[in-house]
Amino acid sequence: MEIVAEQIIILTIIGLVGFIGAKAKILTTEGNKSLSRLILKITLPLLIFTTFANTKLSFELLSGLPYVVGTAVLSIIILFGLGSFSAKLQRLNSENTALHRASTMFGNIAFLGFPILDAIFPGGEGLIYASIFQLTHDAIMWTFGLFILNKSVQNQSKESWKHIINPATVSLFTGLVFLFLPFQLPKILYEPLHGIGHSTIYLSMIYTGAILNKTNFKSVILNYRSYILCFNKLLLCPIIITFVFLFLSRFNLGIPHKAIICAIMQTAMPCMIIISVLAEELELNSKQSVENIFISSILSILTLPLIYFLADLILD
């Protein structure tokens, strides 16, 4: 699939800008911290809000909603279980266990997933199902996912829940309100806010490249943790989801084939870039999270076409 390779190349070029900037000492450690705050407190909340607020509810979108939402929830539950089990096998400490779980559970479903599904199912239907998956994915990420990461820092659940009230979650729930309103944001307001929000992917990759500058590439390639994570995330979970749908097909539920393929492909996406930004903000092991993103993105060039082929073959 050329679209997969194309999106990975785009990500790599943007990351390379950050890498060179850090190497040239334009992006310092303090600069990275400021960049992570800019992303988490301004650009990302605007991206979340405008994505929700500009999504039009239609019959087509509502008819596929239960299947795609259910798959998003099920896949995250499965990935949480796989991440917890593999973290225990590796005897990771609480900080690395939290990062391992979060990186396993949440994927790069917007920047990589949207163009891939739009290419597989042109005409907008692929993007509709992708948007439904993203709404569910983001809702869980900015509640339970954030709780997992904060808990490793605070080590107390009561304190961890306090951090859920933040710009990202406020924008999430505000966006949900706008999703069900009978009108959308006026163009003059939507375009500048969405433009700023859309810069999140570029800023996140520049940040990722800057962090990667601090890593030893030999250690990245030899980091077995990332490969265990990739096996769970890129292969095992999507295959499990595929056989779940194969089992459900016996009951003639009338689940749209396109919705199934879109849900499976979104499940198979590489690690979510924003996890590395959150790791920096919370003073966790951002190096490990960046290595997870790097390895999973490269391997997904091979695994995404494989998952698409297997899912289409098994469920056809």
Asked whether the predicted pLDDT for residue 295 surpasses 80, the reply is: yes
Predicted confidence at residue 267, as pLDDT, reads 93
Q: Between 111 and 248, whose confidence is greater?
A: 248
How would residue 156 be classed by pLDDT, with cut points 50, 70 and 90? very low
Residue 60 has a CB neighbour count (10 Å cut-off) of 13
CB 193 within 8 A of CB 46: yes
Predicted confidence at residue 2, as pLDDT, reads 66
| Eight-state DSSP code of residue 56 | P
The phi, psi pair for 268, rounded to 5°, reads -90, 5
Average pLDDT over residues 160-174: 70
Predicted confidence at residue 68, as pLDDT, reads 86
Asked whether the predicted pLDDT for residue 84 surpasses 80, the reply is: yes
| Eight-state DSSP code of residue 107 | B
Of residues 42, 49, 47, 46, the one with CA closest to residue 181: 49
Q: Between 127 and 47, whose confidence is greater?
A: 47
Average pLDDT over residues 192-210: 86
SS3 252: coil
Question: Which has the minimum average pLDDT: 26-35, 130-139, 158-167?
Answer: 158-167
Query: What is d(CA 41, CA 29) in angstroms, rounded to the nearest whole number?
Result: 18
Average pLDDT over residues 253-266: 86
Query: What is d(CA 12, CA 230) in angstroms, rounded to the nearest whole number?
Result: 18
Predicted confidence at residue 176, as pLDDT, reads 79
Asked whether the predicted pLDDT for residue 241 surpasses 90, the reply is: yes
CB-count exposure of residue 31 (10 Å: 0-12, 13-18, 19+): middle
Q: Between 21 and 182, whose confidence is greater?
A: 21
Predicted confidence at residue 203, as pLDDT, reads 87
CATH code assigned to 2-315: 1.20.1530.20
- Domain ranges for the chain, please list them: 2-315
Of residues 53, 48, 65, 227, the one with CA closest to residue 142: 48
Predicted confidence at residue 273, as pLDDT, reads 81
How would residue 123 be classed by pLDDT, with cut points 50, 70 and 90? low
Q: State the Cα torsion 241-246-247-253 to the nearest 10°.
A: 110
Predicted confidence at residue 17, as pLDDT, reads 93
Asked whether the predicted pLDDT for residue 293 surpasses 90, the reply is: no
Of residues 116, 132, 138, the one with CA closest to residue 68: 132
Question: Which has the minimum average pLDDT: 61-70, 187-196, 261-270?
Answer: 61-70
CB 147 within 8 A of CB 164: yes
Tokens 């996912």 belong to: 145
In sequence order, the 6+-apart residues with CB closer than 8 A to the CB of 15 are: 205, 206, 208, 209, 212
Instruction: State the Cα angle at 227 between 222 and 228, rounded to 5°.
Output: 130
Half-sphere exposure of 109 (CA within 13 A, CB side): 30
In sequence order, the 6+-apart residues with CB closer than 8 A to the CB of 93 are: none
Determine the angle formed by the axes of helices 200-212 and 187-198, rounding to 10 degrees: 10
Query: What is d(CA 206, CA 297) in angstroms, rounded to the nearest whole number?
Result: 15
How would residue 79 be classed by pLDDT, with cut points 50, 70 and 90? very high
Asked whether the predicted pLDDT for residue 260 surpasses 80, the reply is: yes
- The residue count of the chain comes to 316
Query: What is d(CA 169, CA 171) in angstroms, rounded to the nearest whole number?
Result: 5
Query: What is d(CA 276, CA 279) in angstroms, rounded to the nearest whole number?
Result: 5
Predicted confidence at residue 111, as pLDDT, reads 67
The phi, psi pair for 271, rounded to 5°, reads -60, 145
In sequence order, the 6+-apart residues with CB closer than 8 A to the CB of 34 are: none
Predicted confidence at residue 47, as pLDDT, reads 84
